[in-house]
Amino acid sequence: MKICIVGQGYIGLPTAALFSRNHCEVLGVDVNEKIIENLNKGIIHIEEPGIADIIKKAVERKIYAASLTPQKADAFIITVPTPYIAENYSCDLSYVINACESILPYLEQGNTVIIESTIAPMSTDETIKPIFEKAGFTIGKDLYLAHCPERVLPGKIIDELIHNDRIIGGVTPECAIKASEVYGKFVEGELMLTEAKTAELSKCMENTFRDVNIALANELTKICAEIGVNTLDVIEMANKHPRVNLHSPGPGVGGHCLAIDPYFIYAKAPKTAKIIKLARDTNKSMPTFVCDNVRKIISEGKIAVLGVSYKGNTGDDRESPAYEIIADLSKDYEIAIHDPHIGNPNFQNLKEATKDADLILILCDHDEFKNLDYGLISKNMSETIIFDTKNIIKEVPDEIKLFNYGNLYEI
């Protein structure tokens, strides 16, 4: 089977890797010329365990190649971004539409087209299907169209693509069957066949569930800071209940899923989706909450920001709240940034970032930040104060003052 995957990012590239590892010929398509050039040399551009070795071997065996344009294939998979439109929070389908139109010259009767990109409910039926019908195809008879959203955790993408259950949302039952045959090449979890619109809403709701629960923890943090209670103790005690699982609060929500997908539901029913919108507003407010508390801790000086990835132990900084926090604090403070997972030439190592700093601000839960070199920090800093917004540091030496979401009321 030949697979053409349009989009070689955090989902498209791992998906391409697994198909190539399972005896498929794979063409990875992307608009970025540098990415294409590197991929054809076996060099990947994302930090994700296991991917580099698979792609390198696939290139050497000539079963994976990258290109700026599609080619004929048995199945086409679309994995391009779907941002939201700020004016009305609706799903921006422009990348998906362009990707679908780009494969039209290469489609043949009997092909399967799969949209993996997260899209708003009804998008497949109302927007995507007409593209192929206009080109002369009859969906479910000579072209099979489905929406099959991914559900993976950065840092464990390979394992989760293989073992997680997969939603297969066909425009028709025949479409679902054909798409399941494609994923049957490597998915070991259950292939759950359903309608496209059900798959669309299920994916959006999975991320909305998590966003709402994080918002509850973040709102609790604000309440506790206001009334003088330790948030972290409250969460620990409450979670002793056998049916309670309060999430961990943080500096905001990032990533391409939780920070965006709930808006797709809200935009479809804005008068009804009140909890969803309120949760988004709460999580969007956390960068301001962090900055307000930084200004209470120190009024001027230098801040060493540790971590801009939205997810610990990854180099994924999409929609990261850290950037909003940095932009705000840059108005009043000197900022130095350290993130060992992101190769930004403007970032510094830990020693450079903390030199003469008045505050360390932890915005990501990388493992490297859980056991810092406190001897170095104490010698390096003007004042030894840490504000840990991810609540990952459990103990510090007596000479270091630690603030986290448990003791903000002490500021």
* Tens-binned pLDDT, residue by residue, of the chain (411 aa): 999 999 999 999 999 999 999 999 999 999 999 999 999 999 999 989 999 999 999 999 999 999 999 999 999 999 999 999 999 999 999 999 999 999 999 999 999 999 999 999 999 999 999 999 999 999 999 999 999 999 898 889 999 999 999 999 999 999 999 999 999 999 999 999 999 999 999 999 999 999 999 999 999 999 999 999 999 999 999 999 999 999 999 999 999 899 999 999 999 999 999 999 999 999 999 999 999 999 999 999 999 999 999 999 999 999 999 999 999 999 999 999 999 999 999 999 999 999 999 999 999 999 999 999 999 999 989 889 999 999 999 999 999 999 999 999 999
- Based on the domain organization, do 171 and 276 belong to the same domain? no
Nearest CA to 147 out of 114, 183, 119 is that of 114
Q: Considering the domain boundaries, does residue 209 fall inside one?
A: no
- Based on the domain organization, do 134 and 186 belong to the same domain? yes
What is the C-alpha to C-alpha distance for residues 213 and 3, in angstroms, rounded to an integer? 37
The total number of structural domains in the chain stands at 2
- Based on the domain organization, do 360 and 257 belong to the same domain? yes
- Based on the domain organization, do 192 and 77 belong to the same domain? yes
Q: Considering the domain boundaries, does residue 275 fall inside one?
A: yes
Which of 196, 221, 246 is the endpoint of a domain?
A: 196
Q: Considering the domain boundaries, does residue 390 fall inside one?
A: yes
Token pair 């962090």 in the structure block, residue: 290
State the pLDDT at residue 153.
Answer: 87
Q: Considering the domain boundaries, does residue 35 fall inside one?
A: yes
Q: Kindly give, in sequence order, each residue whose CB lies less than 8 Å from that of residue 71, ignoring residues fewer than 6 positions away.
A: 4, 27, 106
- Based on the domain organization, do 243 and 389 belong to the same domain? yes
* 177, HSE (Cβ side, Cα atoms, 13 Å): 7
SS3 338: strand
- Based on the domain organization, do 163 and 24 belong to the same domain? yes
State the pLDDT at residue 47.
Answer: 87
The tokens describing 7, both together, are 């989009």
Q: Considering the domain boundaries, does residue 104 fall inside one?
A: yes
State the pLDDT at residue 383.
Answer: 82
State the pLDDT at residue 403.
Answer: 97
- Based on the domain organization, do 189 and 251 belong to the same domain? no
Which of 152, 180, 196 is the endpoint of a domain?
A: 196
Catalytic annotation present for 203: yes
Q: Considering the domain boundaries, does residue 213 fall inside one?
A: no
- Based on the domain organization, do 167 and 303 belong to the same domain? no
State the pLDDT at residue 256.
Answer: 85
What is the C-alpha to C-alpha distance for residues 120 and 129, in angstroms, rounded to an integer? 14
Task: List the CATH number of the domain containing 166.
Answer: 3.40.50.720
Catalytic annotation present for 24: no
- Based on the domain organization, do 183 and 263 belong to the same domain? no
- Based on the domain organization, do 192 and 257 belong to the same domain? no
The one catalytic residue among 129, 178, 203, 311:
203
Q: Which domain holds residue 121?
A: 2-196
- Based on the domain organization, do 103 and 189 belong to the same domain? yes
The one catalytic residue among 257, 291, 302, 364:
257
Which of 135, 170, 196 is the endpoint of a domain?
A: 196
| Total-model pTM | 0.92
The tokens describing 263, both together, are 């808006």
Q: Considering the domain boundaries, does residue 253 fall inside one?
A: yes
State the pLDDT at residue 217.
Answer: 98
- Based on the domain organization, do 76 and 125 belong to the same domain? yes
Q: Considering the domain boundaries, does residue 206 fall inside one?
A: no
Whether 170 contacts 146, CB under 8 Å = yes
